[in-house]
Amino acid sequence: MNTVTSKNYTPTFQAYYKSPFSKELEKYLETGKGADELVDSFSKVFKLKEKNVIGAGAYGKVSKIDDYYVFKTFYSEEPKVGEIKVNSAHKFSDIKSYFGEYVAKFGNIPIMRNASADKRKYTLLARSNNQGATAYNYSLREFLSLPQRAFDTLAREFQKLNDIHDANLYYRFDTNNPNNFIKVGNSIRIVDEVDWVPCSEPNDIFSFLRIFIQHGGDKNFKKEILKKCLLASEKCQLPMSAAFEYMPSLLDDILKNAKVDRPFGAIYETLMDLRQAGLSENVRMQKVREYLDTL
């Protein structure tokens, strides 16, 4: 049995309704007592899984427990309620925008924090090739309404994840599925599990831009979001060199989809020159803004 203490576990997401199960779960996380009763309690919650599904992706479904927690089941294996395993590592706890790390597992069913208490108050970033142009344009408009600081925070979270690794095992957000990024209030939150890769700094400019800039949709919306993303990337200097070296055509395609008629190589050279020019941060960012206005 794995337990954690109140010193290294603190629920940080405050919402509206907390179920009796969630209260029992948090008590267990603090004390390590009441495991059998908690498994019985979750068994009752689990029976309502189909009724409470709030999202489905390529690998599984997410069901709501209450305003604080959700659980996930996978298509690849039959879900089975079983012994509690607590995530005592909290490897990604410093990444405040990330809601995909499990708190505990009951058998093979992970419990995670709920990224949004009210389904009516969040917007998934739609997949244009799956959910269609109308849904994609709606989500673009919603994300474009966010302040610049939301994109700045997301870029910093990408950089934080680059710094977390075990030997040659590195982690990256699943940016292949834009649905993993949701607008909640004036913030962007990340759901689903992270991937692991054998290469360093995988959360780079390509992975950041590909979330928002897809085929189809309004190019004017995409161009404005592209500028916000590039500005955010420069504030924390997301990695660019490997992406430019190995995926220049994919980056050029992103620019074309955002109504930018110049190769990524030109943008790369300009931004890297500014990074290496020895300017003060304020002067560098002012020049970055001026350059982005020319796109």
Question: Splitting the chain (295 residues) into consecutive groups of 10 residues, what average pLDDT does each group show?
Answer: 38 68 96 96 95 83 94 95 91 93 96 83 90 95 98 98 91 94 95 90 97 96 98 98 96 97 97 98 98 97
Residue 74's CB is within 10 A of a number of other CB atoms, namely 13
Question: Which residue, 262, 260, 210, 217, is CA-closest to 238?
Answer: 210
- Residue ranges per structural domain of the chain: 20-116, 120-292
Q: At which residue do the structure tokens 């069913």 appear?
A: 109
Question: pTM for this one?
Answer: 0.87
pLDDT of residue 60: 87
pLDDT of residue 4: 37
pLDDT of residue 112: 95
The secondary structure of 96-136, three-state, reads CCECCCEEEEECCEEEEECCCCCHHHEEECCCHHHHCHHHH
Locate the DSSP E strands across 13-153.
53-56, 60-64, 69-74, 84-86, 102-106, 109-113, 122-124
3-state SS class at 74: strand
Q: Distance between CA 145 and CA 157 in Å, rounded?
A: 20
pLDDT of residue 120: 67
pLDDT of residue 119: 63
pLDDT of residue 22: 96
Q: Distance between CA 285 and CA 292 in Å, rounded?
A: 10
Geometric angle at alpha carbon 22, from 19 and 25, rounded to 5°: 155
pLDDT of residue 142: 97
- CB contact at 8 A, 204 and 164: no
Q: Which residues contact 155 (CB under 8 A, 6 or more apart)?
A: 208, 229, 232, 233, 235, 236, 238
pLDDT of residue 23: 96
pLDDT of residue 122: 87
In sign, the C-alpha dihedral spanning 285, 286, 288, 289 is positive
One-letter amino acid for residue 48 of the chain: L
- CB contact at 8 A, 203 and 275: no
